[in-house]
Structures are given as C-alpha cells and as structure tokens.
Amino acid sequence: MTQFLIRRIFWAIFLFLVATIITYLIFWVIPADPAALAAGKSATPADVARVRHYLHLDEPIWRQYLRFLWNLVGHQQLGNSFVTRQSVNHIIGQDAPVTASLVFGGAIFWLSLSIPVGILSALRPRSILDRVSMSFVLVGISAHPVWIGLILSYLIGYRLHITPIVGYCNFFPGGIGVQCSGPVQWAYHLLLPWITFMILFAALYVRLVRANVMETMSEDYVRTARAKGASESRVMIQHVLRNSLLPVVTILGMDLGLALGGAIFTESIFNLPGLGHEVINAYNTADLPTITGIVVFATVCVIVFNFIVDVTYGFLDPRIRPS
Amino acid sequence: MRRKQYLSLFMLVLGVALLVAATTVGAATSATQKASKSGIKKGGTLKLNENAEDFDFVDPQLAYRTDDWAMLYTTAMQLVSFPEKTGAAGSQLYPQAATSFPTVSKDGKTYTFHIRPGLRFSDGSPVTAAAFQRSWERILSPKMGSPLGVNLDLQDAIVGGTAFLAGKAAHISGIKAKGLTLSFHLTKPNATFVSILSMQWFTAVKPNTPYDDKGINVYPAAGPYYIKARNPGHSTVLARNPFYKGNRPANPDQIVFTPNVDIDQSLLQVKAGQSDLDIGGVPATAAADLAKTYGVNKGRFFVGATSCVNYMAMNNARAPFNNVNLRKAVNWAIDRPAQVRLLGAFAGKRTDQMLVPGIPGYHPFTAYAIKGADVAKAKQVGGSAIASAPTLNVIHTPTATSTNRAQIAEFNLKQVGFKINDVPTPATNYYQVIQTRGTSYNFVTNGGWCADYFDPFDYLNVLFDGSKLQAANNNNYAYFNNASFNAQLAHAASLSGAARAKAYQKLDQELMVKYAPVVPYLISTNRYFTASRVKNWIYSSYFGSPYFNALAVG
C-alpha cells in the first residue's frame, strides 16, 4: 500500500507540473499583453513598462514559472489577479464551494436518476420504459447544456415561477454581501442547475448502467447464484449490482473532474459564481494568475478524485486491491 | 420480478422527493417575493444585475470603467460633480463638496476651493480638505500601482506631482490642505482642470485611507451611500450613509449589485421581478419588442443618450489612407444606417462628427452620406486612386456583432472598388495591434470613445493630436498627424468659456470636412428595462446609466 501511495504521489506531482507548464506555454502563445490591458486605454509606453515590471511580466517565462512554483510550494500562494489584484487563493476559496455544490449535487441527481432507470431498462429491454429512457439518452447527449439551461430557466423559472431564473445562495448562513443563505435556499437556487447537469450526465450513465447490468446478468456466476436458490434481491444486490456498478465508480471519479469543465456552461447560464464562470472571465481579460490557479486547483481535484476512485475500487472489489 | 425493482424504485422515489421538496420551497419563496409594493418613496432594496462583468475595482483611485464610475457616483462626494438631472442640466457641473467654483489666480495656475462645513463620512468623521488631498495622493502614489493618474499626465499638471510619483516626496507639494481650504498649484494654466476634477478618482476619501495596490473594497464614503459589503465576482452591497445630510436623492435603503449575469437571463429576471434592472442594458434583439410592449421612456423601457461616439478608423500613416481623398471616399461609401441597424432598435443616432451632444463645442453638421452609402459620390471623390490602392487589411474582433459590422463595411468598400483582406483579431490582442505605431492594418471597424470628463479636449486632443503619437498604446489609432491641426488643438485647449467652445466646434467640423481621418457613424444610446416596481428614473448621459441613488423601489 505504501509503495502504491508513493507511486501515486509522484504521478500526481508529475501531472501537476505538466498541467501548469502547458498552461503557462499556452498563455505565452496567446498574443495578448496583460500589462497593456491593466495599464488602461491612455497609458504611455512608460506606463505599460511600469505595469509590466510591477506584474513581473518583463521576466523570462521560465523565471515567471519558477516564481509561480516557489510561491505555490514555499508560501502556498497562487499569486494575484492581473485584473482585480485579488489573491487567487481568495478567489478560488470563494468560488470552489459554488462549483462543488453544483458538481456534487448534480452527481447525486444524475446517479439518483440514471441508476434506477438504467437497471429498470436492463431488466425490461425493449419495454416502453426502456424506449423512453433511450430517447432521453439521445436528447441528453445531443442537447447542449446551454440550450437545456436556457429552456429550463425560461419554462420553470420564468413562465411557471417555480424556481429562481438564475442566482446562487450560500449553504452556510452569513458571509460578505450575502443576500440569501441557508440549506433550503441553497438547494432551491441550485435546482435548475442540478437538473441541467443531470440531463447531460444521466444520459451517459443510463446507457452505461443498462449495458453493464445486462452484461452482468448473463454471467455464469449469476446463473449459479440463482441455481443455488439465492433470492432475486440477493442476486441483484450481491452479484449483479456490485459487479455492474464498478465501472460506474471509475467513470464517476473521472467525470467529477471533467464536470469542472462542464460547469463552465451551467455556471454561466445560471449565474453561479463558481470556478467555471471565473475562468471564462479570466480568459477574456488574459488574467494568467487566475487561469493558472484554477487549472492547478482543478488538476489537484482530478488527481484526488482518481486517488479516491482507486481506493474505493479496492474496497468494492477485493481482487484489485493494491496489495 | 417485482422485488428486483425495489432498489431502483427507492432511488427513483428519492429523486422525485427531492424535486418536490425543492419546488415546494420555491413556490413559497416566490409568493413572498411577489408581495412587493410600488410607488415613489424611500426604502427597499434595489436589486441590480450587471451582465457579463463585475466592477474591476471599487477603490475610487483604481476604478476606471464606466460601470465602476456609475456605481461610485452614488458614494462619491466631489469638489465638483454633475447633478441628478436628466438631459442637458445633468451635464452641467456644480460645486458639490465645494462652497462654490474655485477662485483662480491671475496667472491661471492656482485654484482654491473652500469645502462646505458639516459634510461627514459614513463613519461620522468630518470631510475636510485633506480628504481631497488624499485622493490625489492615492492616484499618484507609486505604492498604489495605479496607472490612471499618469495616463492623463496628472503628475506633470500639478507642482510636485512628478517627485511624488517617483517616491521622492511624502506629499504632493502643489496641493495644500488646511482645514476646509484646499489649493492646487498647477505647473501651467489648464482650462480643463475643473472638468478633470469631476472624475470619480477625486472623490473625498478619509485622510488615513491606506495605500493598497490591491484596492480597498469597503471604506467610509461621504456621498449618499457607502459600500457596505463587497465580494468580487459575487455581489456588492451599498447602504445609505447615515451621516449624509445633503440634497442628493438616496431612495433605496440598500443597493445590491449582482455581477456576471447572462444578458438574456438577466432580462427574464427583470421581467419576472426577480431583479430591478440590468445596468449593462438589454440584449440588442430585445429592444424592439420591449419598446412595442412598454413604449419608450414611458415607465419601464428606457433609451438614453451616452457620451460615446462609435467610429471606424483609417490608418492615415500608410497607403492608401495617407491620401485624404480616399479617406473622404470611404466616408461616402460607408452605410451608416446599416451599421446602426446592426445594433438593434434604438441603438443610437447616426453621425459623421466626433463630438457628441452635451460636450461644449458640439454643433451638428452633415458632411457625408449619413442616410446611406453614396457609392457614386465615393467613386467620384476617390477617383482612380481607388483602383490602384493596395489591398486593405480590415481588422475587427471576432465577436458576432463585430464580424457583422466588418462584413457590412467590407461590402461597402468593395462596392466602390477597394480590395479587402479580412483580419479577425482576438479581443485580448486587438487594441495592442491597432494601437502600436507601424501597425499593418488599414481599416479598423471597432472604434469608439466615451467621455472621461465633459470637455472637447477629451475627444479631439486625446484622439487626434498627432504630436502625442508614441510607440505603442496610442488612442490616436488613426495615426492622424497634421502639424496645423495639432497647433489649433493646442490653441483651443488653452482657451476657456465661449471662445473655447467655438474653437472646438470649428475643429470638429474641420477634422471631418478637411481631413476625414475616421468614419464616425453612431452616437450610441443605452437601452434599459426595469421591473414594474422601479420608479423615479433619472438618466445620466455622462455615465450612460440612471442615477442608482435616485431609483425608488420602496
């Protein structure tokens, strides 16, 4: 187990370095001058040079990158935004809970829908339920989350007045400038974003669960369990679901990381002040520290999720424990 | 088989239960939100959206964007400012914190203000002359990392400014604050000095306000409101200044700004009464329907003029637009009505001049085809030089509107015989490309300018004084440089009063009739839609927005 952990940690460090280097290089290739943007519309070359020096943009890229690494490792600082000059740590600290609310809440929604529907479809292939769920899959995969979000907010939020059209409330009461807070308002405001998220991912998971369950049900050990007189619920829970849901755990771990990317659309449509929204704004203003900070954070999240998946996998299936 | 489905049914029921619970809560909350009252009276929370962006800074000495300033105006106490009045009256400066306009020394270099007694910050402390001295020091302090002051060469305008900016002095020697008396010693006479003071940078700040290059978010203010809370990217909350005793309106108890809202969603929110107004305006495609449903300026859909002029620029420094006849030909060729239509209904007024209404010296004239392209005239004016002109690099940003604008302009240019090379350029790089001297572009379609302060200097001198051209970051991205015109600009800048206005009126006309360095096509308007409970709409053409402190939702 120790060897496994050490290997994973080294792999994580490698991934982290690659992700940040690529981000830096991409930014370097983009033909934008953050110093000119920050200096304002009437700045003289001397002003721009002064701002460039102030932002350390007059240094070679490798030195900027090393400065970034040193600040991160030595001081746990991701730097300051070029545009608002806020600490990127603070920005991420403010935005990450919003994105986490969306992603984890959305995951609960999509799993709550896709697992039962997928199982029912597998148990009754080509039934009406199966056909309806497969149609849902087709729509969910084909429709863009922006379109889904706009339609939902128009119909449910604007026409029916059931939910807010956009907006976010903190889960915990209080906070700076908070207008609404508490678990109930939090869930109420996130309902449509969760459903938007759910439709996209549930479509994929229904198909995955359905295929896995159907495949597992035809396995020899399921037939053997039935032959030994095991009850149907025991067969389903102990033999079919346990095995057929293993790939779901794997995919879920990866999708939670990918969902950070998908959150960009959902957060933009529903005005959720999360990381996705932040990274779009940062891109539009060539705000390298913010972009890099969010990339680093997302990289760490993906690495952590994958690690959790690896460990969970071992618990679910003793055959693949690291030892 | 039924027992096999228990697990799946349980999960399905759980999901449905969550949905029902959340929607029930939603219905209850919606009912509460609908119970708002109407009528013009104080109280309530004014809920404002800001589509697609947030204030970059709320620190008055770092903020520069139009939306920043419109918000800061509600918190500001300035020596001179604009009153909360609609139309021309709203663009007339009045002494706000000062007892009167300044007394000016005979040599025109010393301005003395007297501050009204009894003014207080939101923490109860008095406003003295030192409050205005501090705002200047925060603008020019090297500890602030603010590029703003030096953008206007303020360090050169005030005695001791350069030494202070260089960190060689603790204070700006040319600013003396004693009790309620404040004096400015300028390096040379400056007819725009009082106008410059109307900018939000020069609002009163407490004399002990720290130098902070990250900017301050929450601080005592002396205007009708102060910033009570600010969470960048999430919200900004203004509350009424309990110590403000002046005549300026302060109708809502609170003003809450929610940033980064999608513009279409924001409109739905306002229609549904979940928000009161989007300070970024309405989608261009929605304006016609809103006008049809609610009328224009009749209660909910408002159209207001701005100080912004939209124009296309020709690169006067390189062929073929170093030929004045070709520049004039282009002014005849461009279809201004088509460009205006592109921005939706009520987008603004066609123009072919650079000054806008409200700016001293503005006098409307027509020199070119503002009712539509005149291809025949363009060909006649351009003559054979059109056919021999090199291919034009037409540069624009790749957004849908910019691309459409460029397509129309390119069609117009092709109509008269120009050859076109379309050059879409990312917005993050666009101004860097066009503002760098020696750039290879010939024609730029995304040009525009809004007033920093209401003075023709801020348009004509800033945009067309060729003697100020530098290696990069040129506002004069037409690269227009005419020695005679430069001298006239300098002379006009030295004048004051009616003579100044007359001089700039002449220059505005001469610029286009004689030199035509750019193609002005639109004096833009802003379009707003309010929730039904919003009353007391007073519009500022300077900010291009309503006065937020005047809006009533009580």
| ipTM of this complex | 0.80
Instruction: Tell whether A39 is covered by a domain.
Output: no
* Record: contact A232-B235, CB cut-off 8 A: no
* Record: contact B272-A165, CB cut-off 8 A: yes
Instruction: Tell whether A30 is covered by a domain.
Output: no
Which residue of B9, B19, B259 is in closest CB contact with A116?
B9
* Residue A155: closest C-alpha in chain B: B268
B1 pLDDT band, cuts 50/70/90, is: very low
- Give A301 to chain B, closest Cα distance, Å: 22
Selection from B7, B28, B17, B24 nearest residue A109 by Cα? B17
Please state, in angstroms and rounded to a whole number, the distance separating the CA atoms of residues B366 and B369: 8
Which residue of A44, A161, A278 is in closest CB contact with B272?
A161
Instruction: Tell whether A77 is covered by a domain.
Output: no
Which residue of B5, B150, B271 is in closest CB contact with A47?
B150
B14 pLDDT band, cuts 50/70/90, is: very low
- Cα–Cα–Cα angle for B523, B525, B527, rounded to 5 degrees: 165
Mean pLDDT value across residues B85-94 = 86
B4 pLDDT band, cuts 50/70/90, is: very low
Q: Which residue has the higher pLDDT, A23 or B297?
A: B297
Lowest mean pLDDT segment, chosen from B18-32, B229-243, B429-443 = B18-32
Instruction: Tell whether A43 is covered by a domain.
Output: no
pLDDT at B213 over 90: no
- The residue type of A72 is L
Residues paired with B114 in a beta bridge: B181
| A244 and chain B in contact, CB less than 8 A | no
**Partners of residue A286 in chain B, C-beta under 8 Å:** 428
Reported pTM: 0.84
Please state, in angstroms and rounded to a whole number, the distance separating the CA atoms of residues B397 and B9: 53
Q: How many CB pairs under 8 A join A and B?
A: 211
- Residues A199-223: pLDDT tens digits? 888 888 998 999 999 999 999 999 9
Measured CA to CA in angstroms, residue B548 lies from B47, B322, B538 at distances of 10, 46, 9
What pLDDT does B257 receive?
A: 96
| A191 and chain B in contact, CB less than 8 A | yes
Share of chain B above pLDDT 90, in %: 75
What pLDDT does B541 receive?
A: 87
What pLDDT does B149 receive?
A: 60
pLDDT at B17 over 60: no
- Give B99 to chain A, closest Cα distance, Å: 32
Query: For residues B541 and B242, is the Cβ–Cβ distance under 8 A?
Result: no
What pLDDT does B124 receive?
A: 97
Instruction: Tell whether A37 is covered by a domain.
Output: no
- The residue type of A18 is V
What pLDDT does B135 receive?
A: 96
- Please count the structural domains in chain A: 1
Instruction: Tell whether A62 is covered by a domain.
Output: no
What pLDDT does B122 receive?
A: 97
Residues paired with B94 in a beta bridge: B81
pLDDT at B21 over 80: no
Q: How many residues can be counted in chain B?
A: 554
**Partners of residue A43 in chain B, C-beta under 8 Å:** 147, 150-151, 473
What pLDDT does B199 receive?
A: 92
* Record: contact B472-A179, CB cut-off 8 A: no
pLDDT at B38 over 60: no
The per-residue DSSP string of A98-167 comes to: HHHHHHHHHHHHHHHHHHHHHHHHHHSTTSHHHHHHHHHHHHHHHS-HHHHHHHHIIIIIIIS-SS-SS-
Q: Quick count: other Cβ atoms within 10 Å of Cβ A144?
A: 10
Structural domain of residue A215, as residue ranges?
A: 88-320
Instruction: Tell whether A241 is covered by a domain.
Output: yes
Instruction: Give the HSE-up count for residue A185: Cα atoms under 13 Å, Cβ half-sphere.
Output: 16
CATH number at residue A194: 1.10.3720.10
* Residue A189: closest C-alpha in chain B: B26
- Residues B344-380: pLDDT tens digits? 999 999 999 999 998 999 999 999 989 999 999 999 9
Mean pLDDT value across residues B440-465 = 92
Selection from A138, A145, A122, A142 nearest residue A248 by Cα? A122
Q: Which residue has the higher pLDDT, B10 or B391?
A: B391
Please state, in angstroms and rounded to a whole number, the distance separating the CA atoms of residues A181 and A160: 23
Instruction: Tell whether A155 is covered by a domain.
Output: yes
What pLDDT does B15 receive?
A: 43
**Partners of residue B434 in chain A, C-beta under 8 Å:** none
Structure tokens at B307: 């100080």
Q: Which residues of chain A have pLDDT under 70?
A: 1, 28-32, 37-43, 176-177, 314, 316, 318-323
What pLDDT does A320 receive?
A: 64
B53 pLDDT band, cuts 50/70/90, is: confident
